Amino acid sequence: MSIEKQKSLRTNMILNAVRGAMQVLFPLITFPYVSRILGAESLGQYNFSNSVVSYFTLLAGLGIGRYAIRDGAAIREDSLQLNRFANELFTINIISTVFAYAMLAISLVVSSTLKNYLLLLIILSFQVILTTVGMEWIYSIYEDYLYITVRSILFQFVSLILLFCCVHTRNDVAVYAVITVLACAGSNLLNYYHARKRIRVRLTRHINWKCHLRPIFILFAISLTVSIYVSSDVTVLGILCGDKTVGIYSAATKIYSVVKQILGTVLVVSIPRLSAFYGTGRMDKFRLTASKIYKTIVTLMLPTMTGIMILSERIILLISGQEYIEAASSLRILSMALMFCMAAWFWGQCILVPMKHEEEVFGVTVVSAVLNLTLNILLVPFWKEKAAAFTTALAEGCTYVWSMIRGRKYSGISGIGSTYLKSIIGCLGILAVNTVVKYFAISNMLYIVVTIVLSIIVYGAIEILVKNEVWRLIREIKYKLHVQEANAPKKEGL
């Protein structure tokens, strides 16, 4: 089956956006409850433990997921070759998972600090093995986002019910950890059995180590360095400032990560398609698709950043309550990091990695990670969560600038500046809306809702007036959906 006969990229974006929207909706429902029930200190304990486990999850995963999507997408038409490829990667993944658990056990024995979080670390460590057996990369290779979306929503509903039934006091942090493991990684058990419809995955002794290890370790090194400047702020805060500061910072990072996740759905679904276009030498389609994706990201990213900045305090009060109000400053800083992060992700993961320039992505992520970690250690003792947010934004900014320069050089993609300008003009309309709404004495929730609704209307109108290309793309999607619906066969009545 040819690439064109696969599900359309727009359909995949819609499915992944639905999945991302549900992943936004559920935290918006659960986090206000969890942050108030557990309190800043217990929530800080959970987030610190989760940040520690994330390093071992990363160690177990190596760079296998990214490598599998990139190289697997190019051979997905050859079932025998892809099956052999998947078996080899699954075996390597099992070996790395055993090694990761061994390193976690050693860390628990050696570190007196980690012993204070022993129960939480053991519970959360189940994410490591569940992520490995889940093999999410198989579904990305085949662009099977319908299954991923339905499965994710189902387990989210189950975890939501368990949360409200089982978490009632500040002492229930371990119960909350069990539920989050179920929500985040439990569905991976279903993945393993469902994957057999496409590939019979099993352990194998025949592994082409020479072919796989170099790209896997390079992509792992990239993931590790990214994780350092994404997770090190929480780890350093936990060590130098305590659980309460981590809890306060988590209110800002939760909102930041949720928004980043839903914006990232546009990019996640594009990587297999871009890898397939590049792998088959179709550079014209590669450049055209990548350009459309980046313009879409810019058009969504800038108004989102603007909205978070002007509503930061009100969002924190709504989501987490007065106890977490100090997180508003961190959230404003992280909103700028959001802009850099999405753009860096595009140029790095959607352009340079599919074009097999992962060594260059690795180089900039190392520099960014070292810069972030060093500044965290120096600044966190003085400015606490604000310093952590600032170092994240700085690291993301460095990665973005460098990746953009290199990405343009290799891909030849240009002409994005006008989209930035048109989106900035639209953001001025959002600022005007906020200025007007301030004059009305309304409740906090109503203020947020009115501001968001009016901002969407005003921003959309401005973008249409300035002829932002993204709105033309949206009209194309609506037209194609309308044509598909009109041409769909009608069911006969009984």
Q: Mean per-residue pLDDT for 429-439?
A: 90
So what's the pLDDT on residue 122? 92
So what's the pLDDT on residue 52? 87
So what's the pLDDT on residue 130? 85
Distance from C-alpha of 40 to C-alpha of 18, rounded to nearest angstrom: 31
Distance from C-alpha of 76 to C-alpha of 183, rounded to nearest angstrom: 29
Output b/e per residue, 92-117; b: 16+ Cβ within 10 A. bbeebbeebeeebeebbeeeeebeeb
Q: Give whichever of 45-49, 214-218, 225-229, 242-246 has the largest mean pLDDT.
A: 45-49
pLDDT above 70 covers a percentage of the chain that reads 83
So what's the pLDDT on residue 339? 83
Q: Mean per-residue pLDDT for 286-293?
A: 79
H/E segment holding residue 82: helix 79-110
Torsions phi, psi for 140 (to 5 deg): -70, -40
Domain spans of the chain? 3-199+206-414, 415-481
So what's the pLDDT on residue 38? 85
pLDDT (tens digit per residue) in 109-146:
988 888 888 999 999 999 888 888 877 777 777 766 67
Distance from C-alpha of 131 to C-alpha of 60, rounded to nearest angstrom: 9
pLDDT (tens digit per residue) in 350-390:
788 777 777 777 777 788 888 888 888 888 888 888 888 88
Q: Mean per-residue pLDDT for 334-342?
A: 85
Q: Which two three-digit tokens encode residue 311? A: 């509503």
Output b/e per residue, 230-249; b: 16+ Cβ within 10 A. bbbbbbbbbeebebbbbbbb
**Is residue 485 pLDDT above 60, yes or no?**
no
pLDDT (tens digit per residue) in 393-428:
888 888 888 888 887 877 777 667 778 888 899 899
Q: For 47, how many CA atoms within 13 A lie in the half-sphere containing its CB?
A: 33
So what's the pLDDT on residue 415? 64
**Is residue 101 pLDDT above 90, yes or no?**
yes
For residue 315, name the pLDDT band (cuts at 50, 70, 90).
Answer: confident
Q: Mean per-residue pLDDT for 157-169?
A: 87
For residue 458, name the pLDDT band (cuts at 50, 70, 90).
Answer: very high
Cα 121 to Cα 117, 145, 233: the distances in Å are: 6, 31, 18
So what's the pLDDT on residue 486? 45
Distance from C-alpha of 229 to C-alpha of 223, rounded to nearest angstrom: 10
Q: Mean per-residue pLDDT for 77-95?
A: 84
Any idea what DSSP says for residue 209?
A: H
Q: Which residue has the higher pLDDT, 99 or 292?
A: 99
Q: Which contacts of 148-151 are long-range, i.e. CB under 8 A and separated by 24 or more positions?
A: 148/15, 148/16, 148/19, 149/15, 149/16, 149/18, 149/19, 149/22, 151/187, 151/190, 151/191, 151/194
So what's the pLDDT on residue 492? 39
Which stretches within 241-352 are classed as H helix?
Answer: 243-268, 270-279, 283-319, 327-345
What is the pTM (predicted TM-score) of this model? Answer: 0.63
For residue 330, name the pLDDT band (cuts at 50, 70, 90).
Answer: confident
Distance from C-alpha of 29 to C-alpha of 290, rounded to nearest angstrom: 34
Q: Which residue has the higher pLDDT, 320 or 428?
A: 428
pLDDT (tens digit per residue) in 241-283:
777 888 888 788 878 877 777 777 666 666 666 777 776 777 7
Q: Mean per-residue pLDDT for 10-35?
A: 67
Q: Which residue type is seen at 318?
A: L
